[in-house]
Amino acid sequence: MHVFWHRRDVRLRDNRGLASAATDETVLPVFVLDPEIRADLGTRQWAFVLDGVRELRRAYRERGSDLLVREGDPGKVLQGVVSDYDADSVYYNEQYRPIRRERQRTLDDAVPTESVTDLVLVDPAELNERYENHSRFYDDWGTHGKPAPAPTPDEGSLADVSDDTPVPDAEADIAIPTAGYDAARKRWDTFLADGIETYSDTRDDMRAAVERPVGAVSRISPYLAAGMIGIRELWADATERYNVVDGDARRNVEKYRYELSWREQNYHLLYYNPDLPTEHYKSFPNPIAWENDPTKLAAWKRGETGYPLVDAGMCQLNTEGYLHNRPRQNVASFLTKHLLVDWREGERYFAEQLLDYDQANNAANWQWTASTGTDSVDVRIFDPVAQMDKYDDGADYVTEYVPELRDVDPAKIVDWPTLPADERATLAPDYPAPVVDRDEAYERAQRVFERALGKR
Ligand SMILES: Cc1cc2nc3c(=O)[nH]c(=O)nc-3n(C[C@H](O)[C@H](O)[C@H](O)COP(=O)(O)OP(=O)(O)OC[C@H]3O[C@@H](n4cnc5c(N)ncnc54)[C@H](O)[C@@H]3O)c2cc1C
């Protein structure tokens, strides 16, 4: 008998490690609640993951088996399971997060193990250690074959066990979406039916984001982050569609496949740079003169900076546990550039709030936006006024999340941070004044980063 250790892969379908374990032996599935990993996740994501574990157990029970649920240090727990059930080895899917890799090493030392590449389409170990930029990564990554979805194990290969250890409940401060493979697949089907063929055209359109939350973009990220759907399944469906459409539809579908390559690059970065979540990726000759003003950080967290696009983004994050990519970039840039708060503060806050928190994607994107990461532009600063003008000039997104501005003319909302104070007070007395001056903050950020880079 093989044990299969479920980790960030709470699904039976397209699970390469599980499929490998089931090839020639009976499989005993186990999920281990690891208190140290739990401590690193926000309550919202933890509640979502636990719902996913419950769904997984239901799927196993439907197939006449069960999911063993245990708590503790996975190395010790799984060693115990191997001995209790007289199993010969433990299979698991390779992870890239340093703490999870450490867990793997401890287990590898304790019992015979088999690790399988599942989280990504291309194993980072098969790629070069460093690429100059994303295009170079993409070109090389593109030459590697992408495996087909892994087969679902048949009922006969699952251990005839039962386990009544309850999956604990977790309280979250927001409504948690339905978890599990079926819910993920439903969301994905919605996007395939009406979304993927227009994705490139709508992915930055904030009106579309409000009108068609799943469609304008896929919003599959919470399910991918928890491993409730497999990456090969998404890739295969997107590729199948790419092969049968042409013209605009083909261009749009290709953009979706391209976006998935960013995710792959971020795991690649974390694999070769385990300190990515805590240390600057780029080296700077001089320290970055962060200001780290706690009052400004608190205003940013609450969505009360007086910059409508930033505040709407933070409000979406706080109330939904999700944040659209365009405002995600804007709130991160605003924190690290206009407010000069260290990106690690923002990275931590996102980790607490996001349902799709993923250490590789979060750290790499924070670093990219803070100009400490892989971006080829030395100092990139998003101007939230220009960004709103370009992507939300009808203020559809902003007014969805900032009710104080609902009665204000959209053109005024776009220009809000530059309006005279008395005009702002008349138009929306309850909405905060800007915490920093738009031009001063922009220029100060430019100076601070150029000094850190030794350019001044
Ligand atoms: C500061 C910052 C922090 C971020 N933190 C996370 C995080 O913790 N978890 C996370 O999954 N994504 C993170 N992202 C990336 C991106 O914002 C989300 O993946 C995306 O918004 C999820 O929504 P979606 O599924 O609708 O995306 P879609 O636009 O539908 O894209 C489909 C999928 O492509 C991948 N993808 C798209 N853009 C990116 C990107 N820039 N980087 C990596 N993968 C991408 C994701 O897997 C996404 O689910 C972050 C971005 C920024 C700027």
pLDDT, tens only, 78-130: 999 999 999 999 999 999 999 999 999 999 999 999 999 999 999 999 999 99
pLDDT tens digits, 286-338: 999 999 999 999 999 999 999 999 999 999 999 999 999 999 999 999 999 99
CA distance 64 to 196: 37
Nearest residue (CA) to ligand 1, atom 30: 218
CB of 219 shorter than 6 A to ligand 1? yes
- Which residue puts its alpha carbon closest to atom 48 of ligand 1? 221
83 contact partners, CB below 8 Å, separation of at least 6: none
Q: Tokens representing 156?
A: 């006969």
pLDDT tens for 148-188 read: 999 999 999 999 999 999 999 999 999 999 999 999 999 99
CA of 427 to the centre of ligand 1 (A): 35
Helix (H, G, I), strand (E, B) or coil at 278: coil
Mutate to test the pocket of ligand 1, among 96, 336, 361 (most ligand atoms within 8 A of CB): 361
What does the block give as tokens for 67?
A: 């999911």
Percent of the chain's residues with pLDDT above 90 = 98
Q: Using the mean position of ligand 1's atoms as its centre, give its distance from the Cα of residue 221 in Å.
A: 7
Average pLDDT of 429-436?
Answer: 97
- Domains of the chain (ranges; CATH) run 2-119 (3.40.50.620), 182-272 (1.25.40.80), 294-452 (1.10.579.10)
| Residues pairing with 89 in the sheet | 2
Q: How many CA atoms lie within 13 A of 203 on its CB side?
A: 17
Beta strand 89-93 with 2-6: parallel, antiparallel or unpaired?
Answer: parallel
Confidence of residue 40 (pLDDT cuts 50, 70, 90): confident
Q: Which helix (H) or strand (E) holds 367?
A: helix 359-369
User: How far away, in angstroms, is 20 Cα from ligand 1 center?
Assistant: 29
pLDDT for the residue 108:
96
Q: How many CB atoms lie within 10 A of CB 111?
A: 17
Q: How far apart are CA 393 and CA 165, in angstroms?
A: 53
Residue 193 CB contacts under 8 Å (≥ 6 apart), including other chains: none
Per-residue pLDDT, averaged over 421-436, amounts to 97
Q: What is the pLDDT of residues 179-235, one digit of tens each?
A: 999 999 999 999 999 999 999 999 999 999 999 999 999 999 999 999 999 999 999
The pLDDT > 70 percentage for the chain reads 100
Which atom of ligand 1 sits closest to the CA of residue 351? 8
Give residue 220 CA to ligand 1 midpoint distance, Å.
9
The chain-wide mean pLDDT, for the chain, equals: 97
Residue whose Cα lies nearest atom 16 of ligand 1: it is 325
Tell me, using a 6 A CB cutoff, whether residue 329 lines ligand 1.
Answer: yes
Mutate which of 49, 263, 323, 358 for ligand 1? The one with the most ligand atoms within 8 Å of its CB, which is 263
User: Which pLDDT belongs to residue 288?
Assistant: 98
Given a contact cutoff of 8 angstroms between Cβ atoms, the answer to whether 242 and 253 are in contact is yes
Residue count of the chain, please give it: 456
Q: Is the CB of 389 under 6 A from ligand 1?
A: no
Closest to 153 measured CA to CA, from 1, 18, 5: 18
| Residue bearing the CA closest to ligand 1, atom 17 | 325
Measured distance CA(69)–CA(137) in Å, rounded: 39
The backbone torsions φ and ψ at residue 109, rounded to the nearest 5 degrees and listed phi first, read -75, -20
How sure is the predictor about 456, in pLDDT bands with cuts at 50, 70 and 90?
confident
Residues 6+ apart with CB under 8 A from 200: 251, 252, 254, 255, 256
Q: Is 369 in the pocket of ligand 1 (CB under 6 A)?
A: yes
Beta-carbon-side half-sphere exposure of residue 272 (alpha carbons within 13 Å):
15
Considering only CA atoms, which residue is closest to atom 24 of ligand 1? 219
| Distance (Å) from CA 332 to ligand 1 centroid | 13
68-71 and 113-116 as β-strands: parallel, antiparallel, unpaired?
A: unpaired
Mutational test site, ligand 1, from 325, 336, 372, max ligand atoms within 8 Å of CB: 325
Q: What is the mean pLDDT of residues 51-75?
A: 97
pLDDT tier at 376, thresholds 50, 70, 90: confident
Can you give the pTM of this predicted structure? 0.97
- Is there an atom of ligand 1 within 6 Å of 366 CB? yes
Nearest to 187 by CA among 240, 228, 148: 228
Would you call 97 helix, strand, or coil by DSSP?
coil
Q: What is the pLDDT of residue 318?
A: 98
Mean pLDDT to the nearest integer, 138-143 = 97
Task: With beta carbons less than 8 A apart as the criterion, state whether 153 and 12 touch.
Answer: yes
